[in-house]
Amino acid sequence: MCSRIIDKLACAANRLEAALKIYLDACAINRLTDDQSQSRIHSEAEAVEGIFHLMSIGQIQWIASVVLDNEIRRNPNREKRLDALTLLSLAGELMRPNQKAVQRAVALEQMGYGAYDAFHLACAEQAQVDAFLTTDDRLIRKAGRNLGNLTIRVLNPLKWLQEMQS
């Protein structure tokens, strides 16, 4: 009996190790509680829901950070803040930026990224995620111009999910 349980746990651990790692930023998480009357927002919210489904079945792992936790806690809307914190509890890992990531965040901010964006990107690089997912078009454009020579892909959740499904 114990060996079967250990085997199942080992299989789940192996599946999680092989899973793609993603980093969701605050605007991607908040998309679920944004006004769904606009088709773009609704489509992106459905994509984020799809990403959470992939997490639930072990196909992807969400790496979050204390920086994200801090940003969420600063949201003045109590209901949205609590919803986002509940979602954050589903992250596979809540990492802390090391000194190298802090220095990288400072450099990225000096290159034109916002303070939180710079820290999120630096944390995502430290965690070596496969994709950084955001609904922030300006951030996606900056990253697309390779501002700062990022080592990670920065994508809209909808585009990333479409790539995963094709």
Q: Answer whether 149's CB lies under 8 Å from 113's CB.
A: no
Cβ neighbours for 132, distance < 8 A, ≥ 6 positions apart:
22, 23, 25, 120, 121, 124, 143, 152, 153, 154, 155
Tokens of 43: 């489509």
Q: What's the pLDDT score for residue 17? A: 52
Domains and CATH numbers, the chain: 19-165 (3.40.50.1010)
Interval 77-90: pLDDT, tens: 999 999 999 999 99
CA distance 80 to 72: 9
Residue 18 binned pLDDT confidence (cut-offs 50, 70, 90): low
| This prediction's pTM | 0.88
Interval 1-10: pLDDT, tens: 433 433 443 4
CA distance 99 to 11: 34
CA distance 81 to 132: 21
Mean pLDDT of the chain: 90
User: Where do runs of H (alpha helix) occur along 1-110?
Assistant: 2-18, 26-30, 39-56, 66-73, 78-88, 99-110
* CA nearest to 129, candidates 159, 106, 160: 160
